[in-house]
Amino acid sequence: MVYLTRVEHFNAAHRLHNPDWSAEQNDAVFGKCANANWHGHNFELFVTIKGQPDPQTGFIFDAKKLSAIVRERIVDKVDHRNLNLDVPFMQGKLCSIENFVIAIWKELEPALPAQVSLHCLKLIETPRIYVEYYGE
């Protein structure tokens, strides 16, 4: 079993905001991340799949095809967008990176071919903060 990771980049705006709370409560909990006019990040998404190398190609899966799937399913929907307003799969969700990485998993996992399985998503939000998710 070999693990293959492909890294993709996108940038987006978002804010942390609980619609059930007052503005004061949002500010108290989320601080400047609750800014009504949004803020944003350069995100790096690490997609790790696992599988057996194919004897004909040496690949567990072609990294270029993996990139194409991640771009079609995720990057094209979030790059240069507002995660709270523009991204269908984040509607109705609190836009933390924890919830975002789980939502990305749900979008991406069904799109992968049968010979590999999605092992881990790592999502870097700032040079000092990132999350990882293993699907459960």
* Inter-CA distances, 121 with 7, 22, 32, 54, Å: 10, 33, 27, 23
Query: Of 111 and 135, which CB lies nearer to its own copies in the complex structure?
Result: 135
Shortest spacing between CB 115 and its own copies, in angstroms: 13
Q: How far is the CB of 29 from its own copies (least distance, A)?
A: 6
Residues in Cβ contact with 22 at an 8 Å cutoff, skipping those fewer than 6 apart: none
Which residue type occupies 81? R
For this structure, is 41 an active site residue?
Answer: no
**Catalytic residue among 33, 41, 44, 107, which?**
33
Strand partners, 77: none
**Rounded to whole angstroms, what are the CA distances from 7 to 33, 45, 86, 95, 123?**
26, 6, 23, 22, 10
- Report if residue 28 touches its own copies, rule: CB under 8 A: no
Q: Which of 9, 72, 80, 109 is catalytic?
A: 80
Q: Is 40 in the site for its own copies (CB under 8 A)?
A: yes
Using CB under 8 A, list all residues that contact its own copies: 1-9, 11-14, 16, 18, 20, 29-33, 35, 37-42, 48, 53, 55-60, 62-64, 67, 79-82, 85-86, 93-96, 98-99, 101-102, 126-134, 136
